[in-house]
Amino acid sequence: MSATVKDDPVVSELRRTLAALHQSLVENGLVAWTSGNVSARVPGSDLLVIKPSGVGYDDLTPESMVVCDLDGTRVDGDLSPSSDTASHAYIYRHMPEVGGVVHTHSRYATAWAARGEPIPCVLTAMADEFGGEIPVGPFAPIGGDEIGRAVVETLAGHRSPAVLLRSHGVFTVGATARDAVKAAVMCEDVAATVHLAVSRGELDPLPQDQVDALHRRYTTEYGQR
């Protein structure tokens, strides 16, 4: 199986894409040292591609990305996969519409997670991208699939592609890995803005009808269709 995976052009392209997307995390100030990771589902298979564990961002290459099955077992690659692999795999197993997952400890969003507070929807940019507040989920231990379970259960019933995990950090999902990275960038941006606004006093969330209208416009009319 490993030789077949190694030669698969789809897997090779995903490895190149993920190497570039990890640099986007650095460029947008979402990660420190070796923390954080991006993964992508391999279309048409029960496989994912993910960052190796504990490897610095400057040292990441397409070849260093690790291919795992959806139980989190390594299928191809010379390095051990991220310690979050089991949680990524759980998300893919239980959210078939998801094609990419990102985890960061970005500063402002993680500050909200440390307080165990959702980020209230007080900005049009939040209504656009997240369709409401960015929810907060429970604390979950690292290493197994408990984090993935917390992500899936917290996002149920929310339009948000981002979730804050209490005392930990941020997970985002998307139809593609690039979409998940975009959600992570936007999550940190609004977390910082709302933090600054809250420091000046109480905020009034946007009315639900306005949130719905903004999200509908953004998802059906905005951009090139």
How big is the chain, counted in residues?
Answer: 225
Place of tokens 């997970």: 171
Residue-wise pLDDT tens digits, 22-68:
999 999 999 999 999 999 999 999 999 999 999 999 999 999 999 99
Q: What is the CATH number of the domain that holds 54?
A: 3.40.225.10
pLDDT band at 6 (very low <50, low <70, confident <90, very high): confident
Q: Characterize 48-68 residue by residue with b for buried, 16 or more Cβ atoms within 10 angstroms of its Cβ, and e for exposed.
A: bbbbbeebebeebebebbbbb
Q: What is the pLDDT of residue 3?
A: 59
Q: Which domain holds residue 50?
A: 2-220
> What's the pLDDT tens digit per position in 167-220?
999 999 999 999 999 999 999 999 999 999 999 999 999 999 999 999 999 999
Q: How many domains does the chain have?
A: 1
Closest to 169 in 3D by CA, of 126, 109, 213: 109
Say which amino acid occupies 212. D
Going from the C-alpha of 55 to that of each of 12, 34, 75, 82, 165, the distances in angstroms are 19, 6, 19, 9, 23
Which tens digit of pLDDT belongs to each residue from 74-114? Answer: 999 999 999 999 999 999 999 999 999 999 999 999 999 99
pLDDT digits (tens, 9 = 90+) for 14-28: 999 999 999 999 999
pLDDT at 225 over 80: no
Distance set, CA 93 to CA 48, 65, 70, 97, 98 (Å):
11, 20, 7, 10, 9
4: confidence class by pLDDT, cuts 50, 70, 90 = confident
Kindly state the tokens that stand for 128: 């656009």
Average pLDDT over residues 126-147: 97
Residue 165 has pLDDT above 80, yes or no: yes
User: Is the per-residue pLDDT at 1 higher than 70?
Assistant: no
Q: What is the pLDDT of residue 2?
A: 53
Q: Is residue 225 part of a domain?
A: no
- 3-state per-residue secondary structure call for 40-76: EEECCCCEEEECECCCCHHHCCHHHCEEEECCCCEEE
Distances (CA, A) of 42 to 45, 149, 162: 6, 21, 21
- Phi–psi pair at 69, nearest 5 degrees: -85, 180
- Please indicate, yes or no, if residue 77 is contained in any of the structural domains: yes
What pLDDT band is residue 13 in, cutting at 50, 70 and 90?
Answer: very high
